[in-house]
Amino acid sequence: MRDLHDVATLINADHRLVETLFQRLEAGQGDRRTLVNQVIFNLAIHAGAEEQRIYPAMKKAFDDDGDSVDEALDEHQSMKDALVVLDRGEPGEAEFEDALRTLMAEVRHHIPEEEGNHLPRLRQAVGDERMAELGKDFLKAELHAPTRPHPHSSSNPVVAAPAALVDKLRDKRSDRDESTAIDASGLLDPQAQALVEAHASLGVKPMHLLDASQARKQPTAADAVKRMLKGQDRDNSPEPVDSVLPLTIPSPAGDIEARVYRPQGADGTALPVLVYFHGGGWVIADLDVYDASCRGLANRAGCLVVSVEYRQAPEHPFPAAHDDALVATRWVMAHAGDLGGEPRLVAVAGESAGGNLAAATCLALKQAGEALPVFQLLIYPVASGAMDTPSYQEAQDAKPLYSGLMHWFFAQSVTDPAQLSDPRISLVEASVEDLTGLPPALVITAERDPLRDEGEQLAKALLAAGVPVAATRYPGVMHEFFGAAAVMDKAAKAQEEAASALRAVYAQTVAGMGVRN
């Protein structure tokens, strides 16, 4: 398997994104102006980065055939000329629509030549290792490239830098920068769309162009919920619970920080326990970002929620997060009574990468022959490293999680692409034998999410192994919706569905134990 930074992979991903936007425009989907703005942005930074970093490498490698690179540059010129018209015009105008048709034709002619000829020839000339180095250079160049078309300058790095600065200032003044962070497909319901737009208004940058430290400083979905509540003149303070207490879990790799949420109305009786792992692709986010989910589940399910932090990549690559999740779950199962919980009523849960950690932890405990949690709540879990499902293709332009960002998360998280086939990541590849006997599960997926299909595949695999499973796909919503119950009815419904499943399994377990809770 090739390096996840391979420049051909990155360029091809850009091509798929633009083609998805073209198809939406051709189908009359979504907001036409915003879709075109996204085409302009993505093609501008892509062309600028190619011209500054990739085409010079091609010219050097193709010393016997520089003409083919010149032809590609000429095609870029034609594309930029069309982009200038689109940038200045408005949808519906004859010149605008003619330019859009011209652009689509030019790009669709250009892509097969680049993917089928130029990039393979470059690989043959420089090798896989150099292609990975070029990929990293390409991403850096995209981050600093002009965001609008400059037909006669952006291939020159000396001119490109000031052009990019001017573009960014113009984008900010015109709110054009928000266009890149909006889902313009028209596929989200109004509440979901409002949340995505609130997130975009906070100045979100395309995260796949950042390094991990920069990405961790980006506004989150939790920030967007607060922005919406403030805009609606509503209280944006956290949902009240009885208490939230810090917890330190000992681990051979270093102490693991956690929080214990005690639900409102707790009377001192030992409570069921939910070990919860936050999302963020094993790279970003923390306990604060997913605080709302923990509060909602604690109150609705009437349980203690132990929200667990874990080591993050790239500083601590795979399997560090998985190791921490396993250590933390073992500790909670052994010490639940010390926290005011019932040790025989411990379930696990997680969102996104956290859903992966919850499921992988159950697999690891089973393989070790140890006691299992009573339930696994898997909210749009990462369940495969293949990135090849229909939902990945459909979500090229989704927000906040899009297909290219998942590729970035994986690139940060593993040191060898072969690790993406590890059953702790590719849960859907686990054998029937490994899955048999795992705890019952609820798998919640979002329609507008690259992880939708693999989550549903995991549910089917568990069911085929005889594990009791319920799976619910929430239509018209995106990844990260679950914690937004304060502003999204479907999030509140999903939290109640999750809590209802937890309450039921806790009650059934109590009945089976013959004890009172």
What is the widest separation between alpha-carbon atoms in the chain? 82
For residue 232, what is the enclosing H or E element?
A: none
Tokens of 472: 């619910």
Q: Give the contacts of 444 (CB within 8 A, at least 6 positions apart).
A: 377, 378, 379, 380, 455, 471, 472, 474, 482, 494, 497, 498
479 in catalytic set: yes
Measured at the CA of 143, the angle between CA 201 and CA 278, to 5 degrees, comes to 60
Residue 289 CA, chain-centre distance (Å), reads 14
- 454 torsion bin: left (phi>0), alpha (psi -120 to 50), beta (else): alpha
Tell me the CA distances in angstroms from 456 to 72, 394, 496, one per residue in order: 42, 16, 20
Contact yes or no for 383/426 (Cβ under 8 A)? yes
Contact yes or no for 292/485 (Cβ under 8 A)? yes
**DSSP letter (8 states) at residue 205:** -
- Peptide bond between residue 246 and the one before it cis (omega within 30 degrees of 0): no
322 in catalytic set: no
Residue 473 CA, chain-centre distance (Å), reads 17
Q: How far is Cα 444 from Cα 376, in angstroms, rounded to an integer? A: 11
5 in catalytic set: no
Tokens of 419: 């690790």
Burial of 417-437, coded b for 16+ CB within 10 Å and e otherwise, reads bebbebbbbbbbbbeeebbee
Q: Which residue in 155, 352, 384, 413 is the catalytic one?
A: 352
Q: Which of 196, 134, 206 is nearest to 168 (CA)?
A: 206
**DSSP letter (8 states) at residue 448:** E
Phi, psi angles (nearest 5°) of residue 282: 65, 15
Q: Which residue in 14, 177, 397, 449 is the catalytic one?
A: 449
Q: Which residues participate in catalysis according to the annotation?
A: 352, 449, 479
